[in-house]
Structure 1
C-alpha cells in the first residue's frame, strides 16, 4: 500500500470525533482534567505509566504494540485501516478505538495520534473499559490468559477467525518476549483463556473447499469482501506487484474483509514466518494498483515502508516462492520489468515497497538463487543489536534484539538456529548469554566495509 492515499487522513478522524462532541482540543463536559501526555522520550516509561494507571498488564500492552507497529508510531501517519500510533488507535466504520480513547482520557485526537506516550495511554484506557465490560476485575486482571477476549475485542476484526489470528499473535509475542525501541519484556509462558474463541477454528485451518480455492498450494484461503474486488478480468495477467501493507498481517486481512475498505490484494504475506493468505482469486481483479489492476496480481507484505525490521528472510523467501509460482504458471518473465513495486505502476502515488525492500536479493530468490546461506552482520544499535543481511550492510534489517551497554563480541559459525522476537532463522549465528546480557555477535565480513568491527576468523 505504501502511503495513505487509500484511507482518510487525520482530518477525517478529527471530523468524526468532532461530530461526537469530542473535537480536537476540547473535552466533554463531564470529563476529568486529562493527564499529561507521557511524550515520546521514554516509551518504556509510557508503558509502565499506562499499565499502572489503567490496571492493564504491561506485557499485554507491549505485546499489542509490537504486533501492531513494532513499537513505532510512524510520526502519526495512518495505517491502511486508518489506525494511528504505536497501539493503532483507529477510526473506521468497524473500529472506533481512537474516539473511545479520546473520550476516556480527555486527550485530543491529534495528541493521541502523534504522541507515542499518549497513544499507549489511550489504548490502555480502551482495554480497561473493555475489561470492565467483560467483568474482568480484581486479581483476575493479573492473569494474562484471561485478557484473551479483551484483546480480541480490541482488534475489531472482521470475524472470529481473524480475531483469533490477531490475538494468537499478541500472545505469541508475549510468550517470546520483546526487545525493541528501548522497551523489553521477558518471555512469559501464558495459557490463553480463549472463551468463546476456543470454538473458532484458527485461520489457516484447511478444508477441501479452501484447498480447492487457492491458486498457490502454499496459501491459506480467506476471501476478501466481494465489495473490495471485481469478479473476472478485462486483460491477461502480465505483471506481479509488490506491496507493503502499512499495518499488521491480521489487521490487513480484516480490512480486506471489511466492505467499506474498497481495497484488496490477491495475497498477504506474514512477516515472522512467511505465512501466505490468498484473499482474491487470480482470475478476479483485486483493487490494489489502480490503473494496473486489470493485468496484475498484487502481493501485500506485512509491515511499513519506513521500518525494515518487518522484512524478514522468511518473508522474502516465502514471497519469492509465491512470485516464482505465479510467474511460471502465467508465463510472466521473472525480471524487474514484470515484477514491480506499487510505486512503479502507472497512475499511482504510493511509495511501497520503498527503499528498504531488497530487490536484488528478492529477484535472486525468485529466479532460484540462494546465498546458501546468507551472511548476517550484528552491529550495535542504541541499547540493542540490529541485524543486517549481507552482502550489503544497507540491506534490510531483520530484527532488533536487546543488548547490553557494554559490548561482548563472540564469533560463531553460521547454521545454528536462534529465536529472537518470535522469529527463528537457521542462518543466524547462535546468541549466548554473557553475564546476564545478550551477546553482540559479528559474523565474518569484509573489514573494509565495517572497519570498527573485529573480523571473525
Structure 2
C-alpha cells in the first residue's frame, strides 16, 4: 500500500540512480540467470554482478535482502561495521571477542569482508563502501569465492538450492546454528519473494522461487556446532534455530535482609505470562551482560546482540525478572533486551536483530500462549507507571525508530491494515503509518538538538485538526498545562504502529481519537490512511459515572489478602476516562493478583505466593501506554 511521506520537502530523501561500475573479470561471464528478474535501474547492478561472478541472481537478491533489505545506508556502516546492501564488513577483530563464554574470537576475514571483496574484484574499498553497484559486485564475488572453497559449482545458471553452504558462510557466523539460521532466512525470503522501494527510491521486485536447499552443505563449512549447554537444568530456553546460551543472572543475598537480582517463581502457577517486552540496552552488549551478572542490579530474561542476533538467557521464564519498572508487569512478562540506543535507531536495529528477535518471540509466545499482537508483544515504553509519582520516570525504549510493522511481519502476525470498515465515530482504529517514509520531526537525539531524519513508527496527535495545532498534553509526563514536545524521549503525543484507539469524531482528512482522557487529532486521508477500522471490544463508563479512574496495575482488593500478607494499596493514576469516552480493550482476561516475593528463597504461604483477587480488571489502550480499569466501573461493549 502506498504511504505518503510525512516530512517537509526540504528533508525529503533524494533518490539517487544506482550506477553499474566496472568489475574485474574472473573469466567470461556465464549465461544470464534463468530465474525471472526484477526491472528498474537498481536491478541492473544485481544482474551485472550475477553474470560477472556466476551467482544466481535470486540468491544474490535474497542474501542482500536478508542483510539490509536492499538499503545502502548511504555509505554509513552498521554497528557491526557493515556497509551497503551486501553488508560488507570492516571491523577490528578485537572488538568482537565474547568475554562471557559465548562465541570466541571471530576470524579476521569474516569481520573484514569488504577488504576480501576488494581483493577478489580489484575495486577500491572506498567504492565498495560508498557505491551501491560496487558493493553488490563485492558481495557476489564473496559468495562465488565461498562456493568454490566448498568445492561446489559456480554459475549464474546453477540451481539456487545448491548455494546453501556459501550462503551460510556469508553470515560470518561463529557456529553452525547461527550460520544455518541466516541461510534458512535467506531461503525463506526466496520462497516468499519480496518487493520494496529502497532508501534511495529504487524499486526492486524478487519473484518467489521455491527450492529445497541442500542443507547438508553446512557440514562442508568447518564451523563448530552451536553453543555448548552446561547441563539440562541450565540450558537456555530458545528455539533450536537460534544461537543462544545460558548466562545466569545471580540469585543471591547481597546484604542482611537484601538480595538480587530476580525472584524465583513457578509461573504460570504463580501468575500467567501475558506479555513479552521489547527493551533496548542503551549501550553495548558486553556492558549489558556485565550488568545482568551483578547481583545488586536488576535483571531480564534475554539479551540479544545487534550484529547477528546472538542471544543469552539470564532468568528462566518461570521466574520473575526485575525489568519493567512495574511489579505487576514483571509478574506477568518476559523481558528481552536488544543491543541498541533508542535515539540512534536504525544504526542498531539490524535485520539480523529483528529476525532473531522475532524467532525468539514466536517461540516464547507459543510456549506461553501469548497472543501475537501489540497488546501483548509490547515495548518498554508501553508500561504504565504504578503510582502518579512514578509515571514521569517510566522508560521510553525501544523508541520511535523501532520498526513495529516490520517486526510483526516477521512474527507472521502483520499489523492490521485493511479498509473493510469505515473510519467513523465509535469505531476502533489501528495505527499503521508505514515506516520508511514516515519521517516525523523528532528532536534531541544529537548534541546539537537535532535527530537524523529517518523512518519512524508513530503519528503525532494534536489538540485540533490543524498541522499548526499544539500536540496533546500528558498530565503524567508534564504535570503542568504544557503540550507534549517533539523530544525523542517524549511519548506524550505519539500513537505508535499497532496501537488501537476509538474514534471520537472525523473532520475531512483529520481523525480524532480518545487519548489520555481527551481528543487527539491526526491526519489520515482516505487516499493514504494511517489508521484502519476493525471490530473489537471497548470500555465505556457505566451510566451515571462522569469519570472512571485508570490504574497502572491490577492488584487484588483488600479482602483477598490473608492476615499475614500486607495489603497492597490500589491507587489510581492521575488520568481519568470521561463520560462519553471509549477505549479499546487489549485483554479482558487478565489476572487480578499480587505475587508476594520479598525475602530471599521465601517459603509459602506468606512469601513466594500468589494472592488472587475477585475484583476484575481490563487492560485497555489508553495513551501511548497501556492501562487498566476496573470492570465494575465500565461497560464492555462491541465497537460500532
TM-fit CA distance, 1:126:
1.2
Query: Do the aligned partners of residues 314 and 155 (structure 1) sit closer, same or farther apart at CA in structure 2, a change above 3 Å counting?
Result: closer
Matching of residues 310-329 of structure 1 within 5 Å: none
Structure 1: distance between partners of 2:189 and 2:414: 27
Matching of residues 7-406 of structure 1 within 5 Å: 42-92=41-91, 93=93, 94=106, 95=110, 96-137=112-153, 142-181=158-197, 182-197=203-218, 213-214=235-236, 222-223=243-244, 236=261, 242-243=279-280, 267=302, 278-282=311-315, 298-300=336-338, 305-306=345-346, 335=383, 353-356=399-402, 375-377=416-418, 391-394=430-433, 396=435
Q: What per-residue deviation string (whole Å, max 9, x for no partner) do you get for residues 353-383 of structure 1? A: 4345569x99xxxxxxxxx9964158xxxxx
TM-fit CA distance, 1:148:
1.0
Contact 1:152–1:163 (CA<8 Å) still a contact in 2?
A: yes
Structure 1: distance between partners of 2:243 and 2:385: 30
Helix, strand or coil at the partner of 1:81? coil
Helix, strand or coil at the partner of 1:376? coil
TM-fit CA distance, 1:138:
6.0
Contact 1:91–1:99 (CA<8 Å) still a contact in 2?
A: yes
Structure 1: distance between partners of 2:235 and 2:129: 39
Query: Do the aligned partners of residues 337 and 68 (structure 1) sit closer, same or farther apart at CA in structure 2, a change above 3 Å counting?
Result: farther
Q: Which runs of 5+ in 1 are unaligned?
A: 1-30, 35-40, 247-254, 271-275, 284-288, 290-294, 339-343, 363-371, 379-388, 399-426, 428-444
With CA pairs under 8 Å and 6+ residues apart, which has the higher RCO, 1 or 2?
A: 1
Helix, strand or coil at the partner of 1:135? coil
TM-fit CA distance, 1:46:
1.0
TM-fit CA distance, 1:59:
0.4
Contact 1:237–1:297 (CA<8 Å) still a contact in 2?
A: no
Contact 1:54–1:124 (CA<8 Å) still a contact in 2?
A: yes
- Structure that is richer in helix per residue: 1
TM-fit CA distance, 1:83:
1.5
Query: Do the aligned partners of residues 128 and 316 (structure 1) sit closer, same or farther apart at CA in structure 2, a change above 3 Å counting?
Result: closer
Q: What per-residue deviation string (whole Å, max 9, x for no partner) do you get for residues 148-199 of structure 1? A: 1111111121101111111111111111112123111211121211234379
TM-fit CA distance, 1:245:
11
> Scaled by the length of structure 1, what TM-score is found?
0.51
- Structure that is richer in strand per residue: 2
Contact 2:235–2:246 (CA<8 Å) still a contact in 1?
A: no
Query: Do the aligned partners of residues 53 and 375 (structure 1) sit closer, same or farther apart at CA in structure 2, a change above 3 Å counting?
Result: same
Structure 2: distance between partners of 1:199 and 1:106: 28
Helix, strand or coil at the partner of 1:391? strand
Helix, strand or coil at the partner of 1:150? helix
Query: Do the aligned partners of residues 210 and 150 (structure 1) sit closer, same or farther apart at CA in structure 2, a change above 3 Å counting?
Result: farther
Helix, strand or coil at the partner of 1:180? strand
Q: How well do the aligned residues superpose, as a CA RMSD in angstroms?
A: 6.1
Matching of residues 412-423 of structure 1 within 5 Å: none
- Report the more deviating stretch, 134-143 or 153-162: 134-143
Contact 2:160–2:211 (CA<8 Å) still a contact in 1?
A: yes
Contact 1:221–1:279 (CA<8 Å) still a contact in 2?
A: no
Structure 2: distance between partners of 1:118 and 1:131: 20
Query: Do the aligned partners of residues 169 and 68 (structure 1) sit closer, same or farther apart at CA in structure 2, a change above 3 Å counting?
Result: same
Aligned equivalent of 1:452: 527
Q: Which runs of 5+ in 2 are unaligned?
A: 1-22, 27-39, 94-105, 198-202, 255-259, 264-276, 293-299, 317-322, 324-329, 371-375, 387-393, 420-427, 438-497, 499-505, 510-523, 535-640
TM-fit CA distance, 1:49:
1.0
TM-fit CA distance, 1:277:
7.8
TM-fit CA distance, 1:243:
2.6
Structure 2: distance between partners of 1:262 and 1:119: 36
Helix, strand or coil at the partner of 1:189? coil
Contact 1:73–1:116 (CA<8 Å) still a contact in 2?
A: yes
Contact 2:75–2:129 (CA<8 Å) still a contact in 1?
A: yes
Contact 2:180–2:241 (CA<8 Å) still a contact in 1?
A: no
Rg comparison, structure with higher value: 2
Helix, strand or coil at the partner of 1:142? coil
Aligned equivalent of 1:14: none
Query: Do the aligned partners of residues 170 and 117 (structure 1) sit closer, same or farther apart at CA in structure 2, a change above 3 Å counting?
Result: same
Q: What per-residue deviation string (whole Å, max 9, x for no partner) do you get for residues 52-90 of structure 1? A: 111111100111011111111222332232222111111
Structure 2: distance between partners of 1:33 and 1:208: 49
Query: Do the aligned partners of residues 336 and 167 (structure 1) sit closer, same or farther apart at CA in structure 2, a change above 3 Å counting?
Result: same
Query: Do the aligned partners of residues 69 and 225 (structure 1) sit closer, same or farther apart at CA in structure 2, a change above 3 Å counting?
Result: farther
Contact 1:220–1:277 (CA<8 Å) still a contact in 2?
A: no
Contact 1:59–1:174 (CA<8 Å) still a contact in 2?
A: yes
